[in-house]
Amino acid sequence: MVVVRTVKETPPAELLRCPTPPSGLPTKGEAVIPPNWRAGIIGLARGYRGVSDQLSRLIQFHTGEACPTLGE
């Protein structure tokens, strides 16, 4: 299926560049995180993922290519 979209203005190239994903937490080691802090960290991670997905869709709308997902 071919979709044609007419866009009046293209955002600047710097806004269409895929962001570098954060490195995340270390995979080794131990930490004791209180439950309320853990819930907050999970909320931040989910929020970041949502914004990142939205940005990737916007970039794909303008460029035709989505940003790579974490691990690709």
> ∠ CA(21), CA(62), CA(53), 5° rounding?
35
For residue 71, pLDDT beyond 60: no
Mean pLDDT of the chain: 85
More confident residue, 40 or 62: 40
Of 25, 18, 24, 20, whose CA–CA distance to 55 is shortest? 18
Compute the average pLDDT of residues 9-20.
84
Angstrom distance (rounded) from CA 3 to CA 39 = 41
Q: Residue 24's pLDDT band (boundaries 50, 70, 90)?
A: confident
**What's the pLDDT score for residue 68?**
82
Contact between 18 and 69 under an 8 Å Cβ cutoff? The reply is: no
